[in-house]
Amino acid sequence: MPFAISPVVAGLFFIMLFGRMSPLYPILQENNLAVVFAVPGIILATVFVTFPFITRELVPVMESQGRSEEEAATTMGASGWTIFRRVTLPNIKWALGYGIILCSARALGEFGAVSVVSGHIRGKTNTLPLHIEILYNEYNFTAAFAVASVLVFLAIIILILRNLVEHYGKEIEVEEMAADEISETANLKEGAANVGSSS
């Protein structure tokens, strides 16, 4: 769903939800919680806008794997947490890693939603892209470009990470696929002959 929503609209949505006009506002105030124009708001907006990147990576992988491995673990008495840790997670780890990287790349450059929610309080609720905008609007081009190059540098690091994950993940899959030709039932009879003694 959040894919189809403009980040700016998402930002407005959070302001409506947690801002002064919201019925939630008095409760938040009582508990001394600032969401809009504060760090929690920025985090919320970022998560909302970027999370689809993780789900988009995970859903197809999980759908293609089905749930029979999890069911097999259930029939052997494994608990929900054990199943997640030992069966589900290892199967989705590459997709999950890839999703997290994509997600952080998006989070780094996120402008629209955060711009609306943050309120541009310098040194307090500013993100890198927002800071660039402020500097640029102040005609402070040198500083703006300096900050921008920090952003570019971070982007390159993420790109490298992404390629590493993709490359390494694929390599492991290829290795697993490299099954040798094995004679089918060569050891079968020998094993069956020992059934009596082993049971």
Partner 1 sequence: MLEVQVKNISKNFGNFKASDNVSFDIERGKLIGLLGPSGSGKTTILRMIAGLETPDSGEIFIGGKKVNDLPPGKRGIGFLFQSYALFKHMTVFENIAFGLKVQKKSDEEIKSRVEELAELIGLKNFTRRYPLQLSGGQRQRVAFARALAPNPELLLLDEPFAAIDAKVRQELRSWLKNTIHKLGITAIFVTHDQDEAVEVADEIIITNHGRIEQAGVPVEIYQSPKTPFVAKFIGESVQVPDYTIFKGFENHTPCAGILRPEFLEIAASIDEMPQPMPLTTEKGIVKGTYFRGSTIQIDVEVKGQILRGFRGLEKKQINEGDAAFVFIHKIYGFDGDKTKIVENSAKRQESVVI
Instruction: Give the binding site for partner 1 (CB under 8 A).
Output: 66, 68-69, 71-78, 82, 86-87, 90-91, 176-180, 182, 184-192, 194-196, 198-199
- For partner 1, which is the closer residue by CB, 69 or 133? 69
* Cβ partners under 8 Å of residue 89, min gap 6: 96
When the beta carbons of 75 and 142 are compared against partner 1, the nearer one is 75
- In this complex, which beta carbon is closest to partner 1, that of residue 23 or of residue 196? 196
Q: How far is the CB of 52 from partner 1 (least distance, A)?
A: 27
As measured in angstroms, the least distance from the Cβ of 198 to partner 1 is 5
- Given a contact cutoff of 8 angstroms between Cβ atoms, the answer to whether 106 and 50 are in contact is yes
Distance from C-alpha of 41 to C-alpha of 125, rounded to nearest angstrom:
9
The DSSP code for 84 is I
Confirm if 77 and 28 have CB atoms less than 8 A apart: no
> Residue 33 and residue 158: Cα distance in Å, rounded?
33
> In this structure, which amino acid lies at residue 132?
I
Residue 62 contacts by C-beta under 8 Å, 6 or more apart in sequence? Answer: 88, 92
**137 versus 198: smaller Cβ distance to partner 1:** 198
In the bound complex, what is the minimum distance in angstroms from residue 108's beta carbon to partner 1? 31
> Using an 8 Å Cβ cutoff, are 121 and 45 in contact?
no
What letter represents residue 161's amino acid?
L
**3-state DSSP assignment of residue 191:** helix
Nearer of residues 31 and 198 to partner 1, judged by Cβ = 198
